[in-house]
């Protein structure tokens, strides 16, 4: 646990008692503060009370009297589409509003660091797509390199649940826009921006607000080194704002698909090869085509981002390449879950929309595609340009028949259930085929979440092996 500093003997309100909220309350108490906790859910309040916390109804008119700060869980809106009433009340009272990320950065540096040979460092990763894979890959590279490391944020543990750092440790954080938009302190040593595509637009009142939330990671404190994906206009704009000149190597530009020339430090992937260039010459290259845990152009972009962050930490290219080969990927994200008679089974249950499904379809050759679920507006019509590799589609869930109408001439079978889809695809697959679960739809018609859907697919695949 990271005890929160700066609130000793003061009352601090905590709104939202999920994973991060409870961790925040514990860390505040460990730092000598008096947490006043609240959640609309009686079950959440009961759980907090069982840990000795005092539930206080923060909607009362006098709730913020003598309160030093309000700490808010990420899912609670503070501005758009409209502020949560409790947050609005805190704003009216002039009570500072923060989140656990802000508390982490103000509390991370602890007494005793002067005795360390190497100061602990923080790598923070944000962006629309690939954050989790990039974060996990950086963490994996550090483990392979023998560096002490922890991973937290939007993946794994809450940031205040981390153990106090040891000499030379590197903490790797995945940060969503919900986390970066409100944190009052954002001071990573290395900040990574993967890419930007439309998401959470109601929460941020459009693309401009969404980009502004991401940009705060680079603007509030100013990292020592920035890694920025420049395949979209927003990334190119951010890179331009951070660099003093094209040769400024405090910024590492990354790309998947274009060669980056004329800059001080770049990492890019083209035709399956990652290249690192510094001061006008190539200094390293990695063949990504043989790396099973990072298939497709979208994962090659993740590889570039993780490679750049690792190089900024002083890790050599050969060690990074070794780590790439042993990286197994994250569950439900282009995860290879089995292989039999030359047929590979891939779980990409996280592909809940057409954008992520398109990336999965571009990552493999001959595909037997399991798709469907609770479809979104427009169905899969936008995937038409990406159906070339699909040998046959196996459609499941509520949207199976609607999806079938949008497949054109692509062979398909309406399976309805995951059991039937896996059985049929496995029986018909030939050596060299990939049986790919990339649903392009939400899971809620048949599963509580995409994780349970992916776990069911994985269990069925392993029964066939």
pLDDT of residue 111: 76
pLDDT of residue 329: 85
Q: Contact at 8 Å (CB) between 160 and 23? A: yes
From the candidates 78, 131, 392, 412, give the one annotated as an active-site residue: 131
Residues 274-290 have pLDDT tens digits of: 999 999 999 999 999 98
E-state strands within 60-206: 67-72, 97-98, 121-126, 149-153, 170-174, 190-193
Q: Point out the annotated binding site.
A: 127-133
pLDDT of residue 390: 98
Average pLDDT over residues 54-71: 95
pLDDT of residue 83: 93
CATH among 1.20.1250.20, 2.40.50.180, 3.40.640.10, 3.40.50.720 for 11-98: 3.40.50.720
Average pLDDT over residues 101-128: 92
H-assigned helices in 313-435? 317-326, 354-361, 400-405, 418-428
Confirm whether 140 is a catalytic residue.
Answer: no
At 19, the pLDDT band (50, 70, 90 cuts) reads confident
- 366: pLDDT strictly greater than 80: yes
Domain extents for the chain?
11-98, 109-326, 335-455
Rounded Cα distance between 435 and 421, Å, is 10
| Greater pLDDT, 154 or 462 | 462
Q: Please give the angle made by the CA atoms of 347, 349 and 351, to the nearest 5 degrees.
A: 115
Q: Please give the angle made by the CA atoms of 282, 287 and 288, to the nearest 5 degrees.
A: 120
Average pLDDT over residues 326-340: 91
Residues 264-277 have pLDDT tens digits of: 999 999 999 999 99
pLDDT of residue 221: 82
CATH of domain 109-326: 3.40.1190.10
pLDDT of residue 182: 95
pLDDT of residue 391: 98
| Greater pLDDT, 447 or 200 | 447
Rounded Cα distance between 349 and 442, Å, is 9
Residues 126-167 have pLDDT tens digits of: 998 889 999 999 999 999 999 999 999 988 789 999 999 999
pLDDT of residue 260: 96
From the candidates 47, 200, 398, 452, give the one annotated as an active-site residue: 200
pLDDT of residue 199: 79
Counts of helices then strands in the chain (DSSP H, E):
15, 20
- The helix or strand, by DSSP H or E, that contains position 107, with its residue range, turns out to be helix 100-107
- What is the DSSP pairing of strand 335-340 with strand 34-38? unpaired
Average pLDDT over residues 232-240: 97
Rounded Cα distance between 346 and 328, Å, is 12
pLDDT of residue 168: 94
What is the fold, at CATH topology level, of the domain defined by 335-455?
3.90.190
At 75, the pLDDT band (50, 70, 90 cuts) reads confident
Confirm whether 200 is a catalytic residue.
Answer: yes
Rounded Cα distance between 172 and 143, Å, is 12
* pLDDT, averaged across the chain: 95
From the candidates 78, 99, 139, 154, give the one annotated as an active-site residue: 154
| Greater pLDDT, 157 or 198 | 157
pLDDT more than 70, % of the chain: 100
Please write down the HEC assignment for all residues of 256-267.
ECCCCCCCCEEE
At 465, the pLDDT band (50, 70, 90 cuts) reads confident
What's this model's pTM, rounded to 2 decimal places?
0.90
Q: What does the chain come to in residues?
A: 465
Q: Point out the annotated binding site for ATP.
A: 127-133
pLDDT of residue 110: 80
pLDDT of residue 281: 95
At 429, the pLDDT band (50, 70, 90 cuts) reads very high
Confirm whether 99 is a catalytic residue.
Answer: no
At 112, the pLDDT band (50, 70, 90 cuts) reads confident
Q: 98 to each of 14, 164, 261, 438, how far by Cα in Å? A: 10, 21, 41, 37
């Amino acid at each position: 646990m990271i005890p929160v500093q700066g609130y000793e003997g003061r009352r601090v309100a905590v709104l939202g008692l999920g994973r991060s909220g409870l961790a925040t309350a514990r860390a505040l108490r460990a730092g000598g503060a008096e947490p006043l906790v609240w959640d609309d859910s009686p079950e959440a309040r009961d759980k907090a009370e069982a840990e000795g916390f005092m539930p206080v109804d923060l909607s009362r008119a006098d709730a913020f009297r003598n309160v030093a700060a309000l700490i808010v869980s990420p899912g609670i809106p503070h501005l758009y589409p409209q502020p949560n009433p409790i947050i609005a009340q805190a704003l009216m009272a002039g009570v500072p509003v923060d989140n656990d990320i802000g508390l982490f950065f103000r509390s991370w540096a602890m007494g005793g660091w002067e005795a360390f040979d190497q100061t602990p460092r923080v790598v923070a990763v944000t962006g629309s797509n690939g954050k989790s894979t990039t974060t996990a890959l950086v963490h994996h590279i550090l483990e392979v390199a023998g560096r002490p490391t922890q991973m937290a944020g939007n993946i794994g543990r809450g940031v205040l649940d981390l153990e106090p750092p040891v000499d030379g440790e590197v903490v790797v954080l995945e940060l969503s826009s919900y986390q970066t938009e409100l944190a009052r302190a954002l001071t990573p040593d290395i900040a990574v921006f993967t890419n930007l595509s439309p998401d959470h637009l109601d929460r941020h009142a459009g693309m401009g607000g969404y980009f502004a939330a991401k940009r705060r990671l680079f603007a509030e404190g100013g990292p020592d080194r920035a890694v920025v994906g420049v395949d979209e206009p927003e990334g190119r704009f951010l890179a331009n704002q951070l660099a003093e000149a094209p040769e400024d190597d405090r910024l590492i530009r990354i790309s998947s698909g274009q060669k980056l020339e004329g800059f001080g430090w770049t990492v890019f992937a083209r035709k399956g090869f990652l290249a690192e260039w510094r001061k006008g010459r190539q200094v390293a290259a990695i063949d990504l085509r043989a790396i099973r845990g990072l298939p497709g152009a979208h994962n090659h972009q993740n590889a570039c981002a993780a490679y750049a962050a690792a190089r900024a930490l002083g890790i050599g290219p050969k060690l990074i390449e070794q780590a790439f080969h042993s990286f197994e990927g994250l569950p439900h994200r282009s995860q290879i879950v089995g292989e039999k008679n030359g047929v590979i089974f891939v779980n990409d249950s996280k592909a809940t929309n057409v954008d992520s499904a398109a990336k999965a379809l571009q990552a493999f050759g001959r595909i037997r595609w399991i798709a469907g679920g609770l479809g979104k507006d427009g169905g899969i019509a936008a995937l038409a340009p990406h159906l070339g590799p699909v040998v046959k589609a196996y459609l499941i869930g509520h949207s199976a028949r609607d999806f079938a109408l949008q497949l054109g001439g692509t062979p398909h079978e309406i399976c309805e259930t995951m059991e039937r889809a896996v059985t049929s695809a496995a029986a018909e697959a030939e050596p060299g085929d990939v049986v790919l679960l990339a649903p392009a739809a939400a899971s809620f018609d048949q599963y509580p979440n995409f994780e349970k859907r992916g776990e069911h697919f994985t269990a069925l695949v392993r029964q066939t092996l």
